[in-house]
Amino acid sequence: MPEHVTLGPWLRRFLCEYIVTERNLARNTCKSYRDTFSLLLPFVSRKLRKPVDRLAVRDLTSPLVLLFLAHLEEDRGCSARTRNQRLSAIRAFARFIGSRDPAHVEWCGHIRAIASKKSMSPPVGWLTRSEMEAMLAVPDRKTRRGHSEYALLLFLYNTGARVSEATQLKVRDLQIGRGNGGYDLATLHGKGGKTRQCPLWPETERVLADKILGRPVDDAVFVSRLGTPFTRFGVYRLIERCAARVPELAERTITPHVIRHTTACHLVLAGVDINTIRAWLGHVSISTTNIYAEIDLTLKASAIAVCEVGQPRPSRSWKEDKDLMAFLKSL
Catalytic residue ranges:
162, 191, 257, 260, 283, 292
Q: Is 287 exposed, middle or buried (0-12, 13-18, 19+ CB in 10 A)?
A: exposed
Which residues in 297-323 are b (16+ Cβ under 10 Å) and which e?
eeeeeeeeeeeeeeeeeeeeeeeeeee
CA gap 186, 285 in Å, rounded: 22
CA gap 182, 174 in Å, rounded: 13
In the chain the first and final C-alpha atoms are separated, in Å, by: 89
Is residue 225 within 8 Å of residue 145, measured between CB atoms? yes
Distance of alpha carbon 141 from the chain centroid? 29
